[in-house]
């Protein structure tokens, strides 16, 4: 909820998001991506996310993806404390549709990943 927005064909958008998440176990990682109804004309998204929090030695994952419903990053471990993930990118839809950020567990586990309240997404049209 709150991580979707309608986009118009032919327009280009910049998207930034901050997701706060928890995993159900330290052995369960996270995956992040995006979806929109039709394959976009242009798209590139990146992710920088905390796999483990630590003041002195935190572990992070980084990744990029151009295709919808493709993992930007696929972590194999996670954290049960709240972690933070930054996603950013641009997209030019090929048809009007609803853009959605996607977040899931890297394994099929009920409630494997929870996106917490306070997560947000900002979208700005760049060709106006």
Residue predicted with more confidence, 21 or 109: 21
CB 74 within 8 A of CB 31: yes
Bridge partner list, 87: 17, 47
CB 122 within 8 A of CB 4: no
Check whether 41 has a pLDDT greater than 90.
Answer: yes
CB 77 within 8 A of CB 29: yes
Bridge partner list, 70: none
Q: What is the share, in percent, of the chain residues with pLDDT greater than 90?
A: 45
CB 54 within 8 A of CB 117: no
Q: Which tens digits make up the pLDDT trace of 53-85?
A: 766 666 777 788 888 888 888 788 888 888 888
Query: For position 5, what pLDDT does the model report?
Result: 95
CA gap 19, 47 in Å, rounded:
10
Model pTM? 0.85
> Mean pLDDT in the chain?
87
Q: Residue 116's pLDDT band (boundaries 50, 70, 90)?
A: very high
């Amino acid at each position: 909820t709150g991580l979707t927005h309608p986009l118009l064909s032919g327009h280009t958008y910049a998207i930034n998001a901050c997701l706060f998440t928890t995993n159900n176990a330290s052995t369960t990682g996270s995956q992040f991506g995006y979806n929109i109804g039709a394959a976009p004309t242009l798209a590139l998204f990146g992710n920088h996310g905390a796999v483990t929090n630590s003041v002195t030695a935190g572990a992070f994952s980084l990744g990029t993806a151009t295709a919808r419903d493709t993992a930007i990053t696929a972590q194999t471990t996670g954290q049960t404390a709240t972690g933070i993930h930054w996603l950013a990118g641009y997209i030019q839809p090929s048809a009007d549709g609803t853009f959605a950020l996607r977040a899931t567990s890297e394994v099929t586990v009920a409630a494997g990943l929870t996106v917490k309240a306070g997560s947000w997404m900002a979208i700005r049209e760049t060709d106006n």
